[in-house]
Amino acid sequence: METALVINCGSSSLKIAVFDGTLQRVASALAERLGSEEALARVNGTLSVILPSGASHGDALRRIVDSFRQQGILDRTPTVIGHRVVHGGEAFRQASRIDAQVAGAIADCAELAPLHNPVNQLGIEAAAALFPDVPQVAVFDTAFHQTLPERAYLYAIPMRLYEQWGVRRYGFHGTSHSYMASRTAEILGKSLEETSLISAHLGNGCSITAISRGKSVDTSMGLTPLEGLVMGTRSGDVDPGLFDFLKGKGLDAEEVHRILNNESGLLGISGETNDMRHLGELAAQGHRRADLAIKIFCFRLAKYIAAMTASLTELDALVFTGGIGENSAQVRARTVSHLRLLGFAVDDQRNARRGEDGRAIHSDRSRFPILVVPTDEERVIAREALAIARN
């Protein structure tokens, strides 16, 4: 029986999932606060695994794998290990089996994603030490967007910045958007090559992608995952003149980075929380800035949906996913209410229904279908890793 171990390393966290050969999820684990005295891990949401103080990604991986073995979840070595790697630069258009050359190219891309690629490399090294004979596959957040045309990926800045340093739009959340494309095609009963959609991934990070006949043709995140939509703690688009202005106020680059990445977005506007569910509750109790945060979030999103239509010649569906996209009927309704002129319309009852994978929420008079499709990035990583291992 085949099994894929999926590893997603964050700066202080490690998510692991086990899938069988038919892509059923067998187990999940999450280790948090790695490197601190309070490091801890949970298997399948409940079973706690004791980690030593200051546990590294490698320590956590070993303990979790031991726990999987004790529970009979992983009785042999996995068939393949799939790693989420955030930045593949222009070097990777698809998932790749990790050898010395690929590992070197991932290290080269660290310059473009200094907060992400080095921790992804830690995961790869820890897995290689634990399972030296198991093939390892890197699945890149950026790869799906390598089909963007020049007009969408180049910024209007001197060409030398692109030529010398690779300054361009790369786009992220590619695994999720690519899953949205294939799942939407399946739901609509069409082939991927004849399916065009706008995919809105709304989690803590948020991005939107125009997909024309199965290929990404424009996306809202850019050189880094900071550009575009309003997010939990990230600002998304701001006037680049803001940097100069804040410099004039005595802030240095590090402070501006912290403000825009960690203190902005829903948290910055509301002054309370980056959590959309909590914001909804506060807004319902009359919290003005919580309501304002939701309003600005939805308005920016609607503007981007409209903008994405410029990249498409046909549209089969607008698709919502991610924790917010899948669960917040209010965000979906408010967003679509700005898009009346383009002919999008939500049906309130359908929008309020829960559960059901791939449900339609548009009204009968909507010009385009609107769907809610739960994403599963780990499953896509397992699928791609198994496909490479089988070849």
The residues that are catalytic are 141
Minimum distance between the CB of residue 220 and ligand ADP, rounded to whole angstroms?
A: 15
Minimum distance between the CB of residue 176 and ligand ADP, rounded to whole angstroms?
A: 9
Q: Are 121 and 86 in contact (CB under 8 A)?
A: no
Written as six digits, the tokens of 320 are: 């919502």
> What kind and span of H or E run contains 307?
helix 288-308
Binding mask 223-242 for ligand ADP (x = CB under 6 A): ---------x----------
Q: Is 203 in the site for ligand ADP (CB under 6 A)?
A: yes
For the chain, report the end-to-end CA distance as a whole number of angstroms. 17
Q: Is 328 in the site for ligand ADP (CB under 6 A)?
A: yes
Using Cβ positions, the residue closest to ligand ADP within the complex turns out to be 323
Give CA–CA dist 257/239, Å, rounded.
14
Q: Which of 33, 48, 314 is nearest to 196 (CA)?
A: 314
Q: Which is nearer to ligand ADP, 123 or 322 (CB)?
A: 322
DSSP track, 228-248: SS--SS---S--THHHHHHHH
Binding mask 275-304 for ligand ADP (x = CB under 6 A): xxx--x------------------------
Minimum distance between the CB of residue 233 and ligand ADP, rounded to whole angstroms?
A: 10
Written as six digits, the tokens of 116 are: 């992400």
Please identify, among the stretches 21-29, 75-83, 253-261, 270-278, the one whose residues bind ligand ADP according to the rule CB under 6 A: 270-278
Binding mask 27-46 for ligand ADP (x = CB under 6 A): --------------------
Q: Is 78 in the site for ligand ADP (CB under 6 A)?
A: no
Q: Is 324 in the site for ligand ADP (CB under 6 A)?
A: yes
Minimum distance between the CB of residue 326 and ligand ADP, rounded to whole angstroms?
A: 7
Q: Which of 80, 85, 98 is nearest to 389 (CA)?
A: 80
- Other residues' Cβ atoms within 10 Å of the Cβ of residue 248: 8
Q: Are 216 and 147 in contact (CB under 8 A)?
A: yes
Task: Give Cα 345 to chain centroid, integer Å.
Answer: 26
Q: Is 335 in the site for ligand ADP (CB under 6 A)?
A: no
Please identify, among the stretches 161-169, 197-205, 217-225, 286-294, the one whose residues bind ligand ADP according to the rule CB under 6 A: 197-205
> Residue 228 region, left (φ>0) first, then alpha (ψ -120 to 50), else beta?
left
Q: Which is nearer to ligand ADP, 354 or 365 (CB)?
A: 354
Only one residue has tokens 């896509």, namely 380
User: Which positions touch ligand ADP (CB under 6 A)?
Assistant: 203-205, 232, 275-277, 280, 322-324, 327-328
